[in-house]
A and B are shown apart, each in its own frame.
Chain A
Amino acid sequence: MGQDFRSKLARLRKEGAEPSAEPAVPDPLPESPAESPAESPAESPTGAPAARVKSASLPGWLAGTLARRAGGSAGGRAVDRAPGGAGSSPVFPGSPEALGRALGAAETWPRTTGDPLELTESVGARGAFAQRRKTLPMESAAHGDWRLAEIEGAEARSIERLSKDPALADIDLRRAIYLDTETTGLSGGAGVYVYMVGLGWFEGDQYVSWQGFLRHPGEEAALLEEVARLIAGAPSVVSFFGKSFDRHRLEDKMKIAGVEPPFEGRPHLDLYHPMRRLTRGAFPNGKLQTLEKGLLGFHRERDLPGSLAPAAWFDYLAGRPHMLEGVFHHNYEDVLSLVVMAAYLGRAEIGTRASGEPLRGPDAHRARALAETAGDADERLRWATVALDGGAEGEGRRAMQLLRADLLRRARRTEEARAAYREALEECAEDRTAIDLFVGASMLLEHDLRDTDNALRMAERALSVARIERRPSGVLDGLKLRASRLAGQRGDQKGDQ
C-alpha cells in the first residue's frame, strides 16, 4: 500500500521515473576524495532544493556510502589552500565565480562524520541542546594584528557618533555581547533554522566564546531560550548586519517557540553601517571579510563561506559526512572579528591603537566620516581639513572641500573661505558639488564681501551647471530665485549710484 501510494504520488507530481532518453548510469567511482561524490556541496548552496538535483545524481544510498568512505580517508586534514581560495577576495553567493571560489575553499575543509567535536550538552527547562565553549585570556589573545584587550580604550562617543544611534551613547564593549548566527538560508520565513548561534563576551580577564548548536531541529526551543537568556544578561548587543538579519531570524524563531525575544529596547551596535561610513568607497564592498582584511590585518586561512552553511547542517542531519567543523570555525572567527572591529570603531576618533600606532585603513575616509558626524563646527572643520590633507580623492575630496569652504564662510573666516572656494572650483567647476560651491561662493560674495556683481555671476554659474546636471525643478527654482534677487539688488545699487 505504502509503495503504491508513493508511486501514485510521484506520478501525479510528475516526479516519478521520467521516460528519460538517457538511462541513469552512475558515474565511475571517484578516484580521490577531492572530486567528491553526489552530494558535493556544489549542489545545494544556491538555494536549489536537493530534490531538483537528486534525480540527476547517484542513488541516495550509494552516494551516502561513497561519501562516507571519502570522508573517512581524508582524516589527515588537508590544509593546503586552493588557488584563489579562502581569504583571497570576498564572496558573493550566487555568482559563478563566487561559487567556484567557494568550492575551492570548501574543498580545503575536510568532511567529518557524526557530531562535531568538543560539544557539551546543556539541559534546561525546555530540553537539551549542545554547546561549544572556549575561553581566551583577554590580555594575550589576538585576532589579526589586534589584541582583544584593545577594546579597553574604545570610546562610546566615537561609536555612537559613527553609528548615528543615540542609544549607543553609553555602550561598554567590555559588557556587550557579540552575536553571529548560521542559518539554513537567507530567504527568511518560518522554515529557516538558526542552527548555530555564536556569542562572545568578557568575563573578568577572559574572553568567552560560546557556540550553541542544534544537534537536531527538536532542540530549537531549548537553544533559543538559552540564547535569549544570555543576550538579556548583557546591556547591549554587537553584530554585523544583525539588525537586518540575525536579529529577525532569532526573533521570528523565538516568537514561534514562545520565547520572549531579548532585542526590543536593548542597544544594538550593527557594525555594518558605521564601518561602511568609515570606509565608503575605499573597498570593493562592505563585507565583513573585506573589512577585517583591510582594517584588522586578519586573513582567514581556511574559511568555509557562509553560503555553504545550510548544506553542512543538512548533510550532518542526514548522517552524511559534513563540513560543520568548518562552520564552527568560521562562526568563531566572525564573532572575534566583531570584537576587534568594535574596538576599531571605538578608536576611530582617537585614531590610534593601544600601542600608540595609528589605525590601519583609509585615513581620509575616516576623517570624512568623522567630519560628517561631528557635532560642532570647529570639529567638523578640523576633520574636513584632516581629510583633505590626508589625501582624500574623488567624490570624498569634493565633499570635504565643500564642507570646509562652507564652514569657513559661516565662521566668518572670509579670506580663507574665499581661498577654499576658489581652490575647489579651480579643480572642477562642473559637477554637482560645483553647484553648491558656486552657491556658497555667491553667498560669501553677497553677505561678507558685499560684491553683488560677482555674487550674481556665481549664482548664474550655479544655475547653468544645475541645468546641465539636470537637477530637479525644486533645485533650479531655488537657484533662479537667488539669481533674480541678486539681479534686482544690483539694479537698485546702480540706481543709487
Chain B
Amino acid sequence: MKGEANGEPAAQSGGPRRARRRLGVEGIAKRLRSEVPWKSRIVHWRTAPARPGRTEAWPAALDPRLVDVFKRKGVPEPYAHQARAIERALAGDDVLVATPTASGKTICYTAPVLQSLLEASEGGPGKRGARALFLYPTKALSQDQTVGLTALVESLIEHHGESTGAADWHAFTYDGDTPPSIRRTLRDRGHMVLTNPYMLHQGILPNHAKWAELFRDLRYIVVDEVHTLSGVFGSSVANVLRRLVRVARHYGANPQFLASSATVADPAAHASRLFGRPVTVIDEDASPAGKRIFGVYEPPVVNPVAGLRANALEEARDLAREVCGPGHQTIFFAGRRTAVEVLTRYLKESAQRLGLRPSEIRGYRGGYLPDMRREIEAGLKDGKIKVVVSTNALELGVDIGALDVAVLVGYPGSQASFWQRAGRVGRRGRASLVIQIAKSEPTDQFLVHHPEYLFDAPREKLGVDPDNLVLLSEHVKCAAFELPFRAELEVAPSEPGGEALGETLADEPEFDSAPHVPEILDYLADESGFLHRRADTWYWMADAYPAQDVSLAGGDIDNVLILELGTEKAIGETDRESSITTVHEGAIYQVQGVTWRVERFDYKNRRAYVTEVESDYYTDAQTDTEVRVLRLEHRESRPMALGPVQPEVEPAADAVEQGPTEDFSAWRGEVHVTTVATLYKKIRFYTRENVGAGDIHLPPEELDTEAFILTMSEESAAKLGLDGGDRGSAWRALGDLVRRVAPLFIRCQPSDLGLSSHVKSPHFGRPTIFLYDKVQGGVGLSELLFGAYRDLFGAALDVVEKCSCDIGCPACVGPVAEAGPTGKECVTRLLKHLAGGALPEPAPIGEGDDEPEILGEEAEFGPLPRGAATTGL
C-alpha cells in the first residue's frame, strides 16, 4: 500500500488494526451505552429506525428520453418529493425543495432545466432558446455540479443521439478562476452557467450586454442552499436577484426560480423574501434512510463549585478511541481552524492505537490548496481515508460520499448546520451514528436538556431584509448602472386625472416592491451625483463601476490595515467597528502567539502601526455604549395586576391599590448606538492580574439600526429583587443570556447582536435592555427577536435552572465575577417572571415613549468586548 511504501509503520496484523476491523456502528453505539465512562456522559440517546423510500412514477410531462437517462444513472423512479418538484417546475411554478442532505435535490432542478433545453432545440424556428443560470454558495460546489450536468448531457447524446441537439449544450463554471481566454466562448455557448453570487454581482450583471444570449433565453435561475442566504449576505443576494430578474426582463425573458435548502423554519417565507414572489415549497422528504443513532454528550464537571466542565475538544480526543477504526469512516466537526489542526495532529499521533495509519487520518478546512482538498474528497469517497477532521468546510454539499460516524464538537450554531453535518453519515441500508458534544455555552447546555429541539420541526427563522435602506440603496445604485430606471406618477385610481399621489417606478416589479426607491434614486442623483435625472428617467452618470465598491458580505470596505512601523509590512486587518477596542494606541495586538504593540493609530486613513514586542500582558478595552431611541414601532405589554406573584418576594401591599400599571413591555424600534472606547487595562498573561491602564482617545463608532427592547416597571423590578448593589450586573447577565440563546430561534451568531442594559434608562425611566442588530440599518433580527422573545426567555430560564453550577458559570449567567454573587438567583427569578404568566398583548406606544431624548453621561453598562466573558477559560 502507498502508506507502507512511504515508510510509515504498518499496523501489525493481529494488532489493533485487525481487532478493530470488525468494529461496526451498532457495536460502537452499544459500547458507548454500556461502558464507563461513556454511559454516564452520553446523557441522551435517540434512534431513528431505518425508513424505506417512497417513490412515484416519473411525471408524465417529463420527456421519456430524460427519464431514460435518469434510469441509467441509477434512478429507476423518483422519490415522491422529487416527482412533485419536477412536476411543479414543469407546470411553471417557482419551486423550493427544502429536504435534508442527500435526499436527491439536484435532480429536482436538473430535470426541468434539461427538459427546457430539449424543448428549445426541437422547437421550430422563431421559438426561443433556453438557458439556465445556477448559483452556488461556494466554488467547490459549482465545480462538482458542472461535472454532474456534463455527465447527464453526455448520456443523453450517447443514448438518444445527436437529434436531441444536446451536442450543443455546455455546462460551464464561471468564477474568479475562469481564464479570460475562454470567457467569451462560455458567454456565447454556455447553456448552463454555474457561478456564485459574487461573480453575478460584480462580473455578470454590470456587463450584461456580453451575456445578452444567456439573458434573452434565461428560463431557470437555480439557487442552491438558500438557507445560507441570511443576514447581510442574504439580504444583499436578494437584491442581486432583483437586479438579475430585472436585467433578464429587459431582454424579454421571464425566468423561473428553482431552489434548494436544508430544512429551516418557514421556508416559504424565507424564499419569498429572497425571490420577491410566492414560491411552491416541497419539504416532505421521501428518501430512504438507514437506521440513525444520535447521542448527546455532556463533558464531565471538573470544578463543581464553578460548574466548569471538561473541554469539548479534549473529550473528542478521548472519544476517538471508541469511534475510529479501519472498518468504517468517521468525521469530526470542529468550530475553528486551529481546533481542526490540533485534533488532527493528536489523532495522527495515536493512529496506531486506533488501528489506523497516519495517512488515513486527515484534516480539512478552508485555506488548504484546491488540489489537496480534491485529493481528500476523493480519498473519502473511495474509502482510503478513514478519519477526517473538518471545519464547516465539509458542511455544504461537496461530494464525499456517505460516512458512518460523525462527532460534532460543539453545537454548530444552527439546526440547519447540525443537520447538514449529521447528514454526512448514513449509507443506504446501514446504521449511522452521530455524537453531539456539548460545549460550555448556553445553547449547547440547552440542547443537553432538550434534545427534542434538534429532532422536532425546525424553529430558527432566517433574518433577511432586502429592504434594508443601506443595502437597498447600494444595489439600486448598481442596478441604475445596469439599466436606467423610469418613474411614473401614481394617480388616485378613483378619479382619472386626479391628484398625483407620488412617484412609483414604471415597469419595475422587482424594485417597486421595495419602499422609497424613487426617493433613493433622487437622492443618488442630487446628493451623491451618481445619477442624472432627465424628465422621468434616472440614468447612471459617473465614471465609476459601482459593483466594485459594494460588498455582499458587508463591512469589509472600511477595514483597518495593521502595518509594521517602519517597514509598512501588513500584519493583519480588523474591521472598523472593533478597531477602537483592538488597535487603539497602546493596545497589544496578537497574531499566532506573537505580540505587537500599537504605536500609532491613524484613524482617518484606517491604518494602525505596530512594533513587535515581548509583552507579558495583553490589553482589554472598556467601552461605553449609548443607545438613543429614534422611533418605536411595536409594543407588547403585560399589565401589572395579571403578573404572577413570586412567592419568595414579599407582596408589596400598595402595588394592588395602584391598579393595573405596566409589568413589563417588549418593543421594537429604531435606535442610534454610539460606542466609545474609554480606557484599556493591561492584564498579565496566565495570572490575569491588572498591571496598569491607559486612556483611549478615539472618535465614537456610530450605528443606526433596529433594536428589540425590554423594559420592566420599577415596581416589578423591586418585587423581583432587582435592586441592591449588583442589580446592574444581574440585569445585564439576563440580557447577555437572552442574546446567547437567540441562535436557537433565529439564524444568527450571538455576536451579530449588540447589548446595552440600564437599570434606569434615561429614555424609559425604568430598567431596560436593548438588543440591537449590529448591521447599519438592521437586517431583520429585531423583528425576529420581537416575534420570539417569550421562547427566548423560556429557553434562557431552562438553561439557568438546569445548569449544574451553584452560583453562575460561563454556560449560564456567566462567572460570578461578572454576574455578581446573587446573579444566578436573581436572573432565575426574573426569567421565571418574564417567561411565565399571561402573555403580553399589543399595546399602544405610550405618550412620550416615542420622543427621542438625548442621553446624559449615564449609560452605565457598555457591552463586554466580544469573547471577554470566556477569556482564559
Contact = CB atoms under 8 A, between A and B. Distances in A.
Interface of A: 2, 5-6, 8-15, 44-45, 47-51, 54, 184-185, 187-191, 193, 216-218, 251-253, 255-256, 310-311, 314, 317-318
Interface stretch (B385-393, B424-432, B524-532, B794-802): B524-532
B527 A184 contact: no
Contacts of A191: 206, 480-482, 540, 542, 545-546
B82 to A, nearest CB: 38
Q: Is the interface of B mostly helix, strand, loop or mixed?
A: mixed
B206 A9 contact: no
Interface in B478-495: 480-484
Interface of B: 206-210, 212, 250, 469-470, 473, 480-484, 516, 519-520, 523, 527-530, 532, 534-535, 537, 539-546, 702, 704, 776-777
Contact of A217 (B206, B250, B469, B534): B534
Given A13-B470, A256-B208, A47 B523 contact: no
Contacts of A10: 523, 527
Given A317-B532, A318-B532, A185 B543 contact: yes
B523 A252 contact: no
Nearest to B558: A14
B541 A189 contact: no
B516 A217 contact: no
Interface residues of A: mostly helix, strand, loop or mixed? helix
A309 to B, nearest CB: 9
Given A8-B469, A188-B545, 12 more contacts: A15-B528, A44-B543, A49-B542, A185-B544, A187-B544, A217-B484, A253-B209, A311-B543, A314-B532, A317-B532, A317-B534, A318-B532
Which 8 A/B pairs are nearest by Cβ-Cβ distance? A191-B481, A252-B209, A50-B529, A185-B543, A191-B540, A189-B206, A51-B528, A217-B539
B835 to A, nearest CB: 35
A256 B209 contact: yes
B529 A9 contact: no
A252 B528 contact: no
B704 A50 contact: no
A353 to B, nearest CB: 40
Contacts of B250: 256
B703 to A, nearest CB: 10
B206 A190 contact: yes
22 contacts: A5-B516, A6-B527, A9-B473, A9-B520, A12-B469, A14-B702, A15-B528, A48-B544, A49-B544, A185-B545, A187-B545, A189-B207, A191-B482, A191-B540, A217-B532, A217-B541, A218-B535, A256-B208, A256-B250, A310-B543, A314-B532, A314-B543
B514 to A, nearest CB: 13
A49 to B, nearest CB: 4
A86 to B, nearest CB: 22
Contact of B207 (A5, A48, A252): A252
B251 to A, nearest CB: 9
B544 A9 contact: no
Contacts of B529: 49-51, 54
Contacts of A188: 207, 545
Given A5-B519, A6-B527, A49-B530, A12 B777 contact: yes
A11 B704 contact: yes
A14 B700 CA distance: 14
Given A256-B208, A314-B541, A12 B519 contact: no
A8 B208 CA distance: 32
Contacts of A189: 206-207, 481, 545
Nearest to B215: A255
B482 A216 contact: no
Nearest to B539: A217
A51 B530 contact: yes
B543 A49 contact: yes
A73 B206 CA distance: 42
Given A6-B519, A256-B208, A15 B527 contact: yes
Contacts of A314: 532, 541-543
Contacts of A251: 209
Contacts of A48: 544
B532 A45 contact: no
A12 B777 CA distance: 6
Contacts of B482: 190-191
A49 B548 CA distance: 13
B479 to A, nearest CB: 10
Contacts of A8: 469
B547 to A, nearest CB: 8
Given A188-B207, A217-B532, A6 B523 contact: yes
B208 A190 contact: yes
A216 B537 CA distance: 11
Of A11, A185, A253, A310, the most chain B CB neighbours within 10 A belong to A11
B776 A12 contact: yes
Contacts of A184: 541-543
A361 B861 CA distance: 78
Nearest to A53: B529
B2 to A, nearest CB: 28
Contacts of A185: 542-545
A292 B250 CA distance: 43
A50 B207 contact: no
B629 to A, nearest CB: 15
A216 B535 CA distance: 11
Contacts of A47: 543-544
B469 A216 contact: no
A15 B519 CA distance: 16
A45 B210 CA distance: 26
A185 B530 CA distance: 13
B519 A45 contact: no
A101 B94 CA distance: 57
A9 B520 CA distance: 8
Nearest to A256: B209
Nearest to B516: A5
Nearest to B470: A12
Nearest to B548: A187
A48 B481 CA distance: 15
A15 B776 CA distance: 13
A256 B483 contact: yes
Given A11-B704, A217-B534, A314-B541, A2 B519 contact: yes
A32 B506 CA distance: 46
A258 B206 CA distance: 17
Nearest to B776: A12
B450 to A, nearest CB: 39
